[in-house]
Amino acid sequence: MKPSAVLWDMDGTLVDTEPYWMHVETLLVESYGGTWTHEDALQLVGNGLIDSALVLQRYGVDMEAQAIVDHLTDAVVHRLRTDGVPFRPGARELLADLRAAGIRTALVTMSMRRMAMEVVDLIDFAAFDLVVAGDDVARPKPFPDAYLRAAELLSVDIADAVVIEDSPTGIAAGRAAGAVVLGVPHIVSLDDADAHDLWPTLAGRTATDIIDLHARLAKEVTR
């Protein structure tokens, strides 16, 4: 049996935008006289943008939280437009193969919708049936709201869906929603993140691998 849908995280899973985010965070903190290290940036991976803005305020950024979100989003969108979409290894190929296999797909991200749509619009095929973004739900990951919303809009049972994530926060959201959760580590370790399965990379993976994963784990998740 095929999964009813595959629900993709965006930053760090589909595309490698985390270096973009870390760069613009660093510039913003430094503009207020603060210091922002790589280790500081890691604590924001997978978080909702408002939650991330509150952390940046504690590091000295004297701006309203929504203004921080808008500033960071504008800066990352500019990088996407000028430098292109940096796909994670194997992600574009797997996404295209899922579409060819007739499996529905959704992008489920805590980035703002306008940024998510920039990424979607730069993909050279019809990649997703829908997008659920951070400003579409009341509660960010690790709450399950975004994944449950995607399943609702697709009219599928979340237990019949596969979630692909690269962060402990995102994995927690997928688990809380009740999906089969695949972790693909990128910047942070997922060893203790409780994904149903871990793949070191999506490179070389196909729709058949996702179908097999779902067939192997769906009963366990339902139980």
Tell me which residues are annotated as active site: 9
> 76: how many CB neighbours lie within 10 A of its CB?
22
Residue 145: beta bridge partners? none
> 117: how many CB neighbours lie within 10 A of its CB?
15
- Are 88 and 15 in contact by the 8 Å Cβ rule? The answer is yes
- Are 119 and 81 in contact by the 8 Å Cβ rule? The answer is no
Pairing of strands 161-165, 104-108: unpaired
Tokens representing 10 are: 């965006």
- By the 10 Å C-beta count (0-12 exposed, 13-18 middle, 19+ buried), 121 is classed as exposed
Residues 6+ apart with CB under 8 A from 79: 17, 20, 23, 24
> In the chain, where does DSSP find H-type helix?
18-31, 38-42, 49-58, 65-83, 91-100, 113-121, 145-154, 168-177, 207-222
Assign 3-state DSSP to the chain and report helix, strand, coil percentages, each to 5.
50, 10, 40
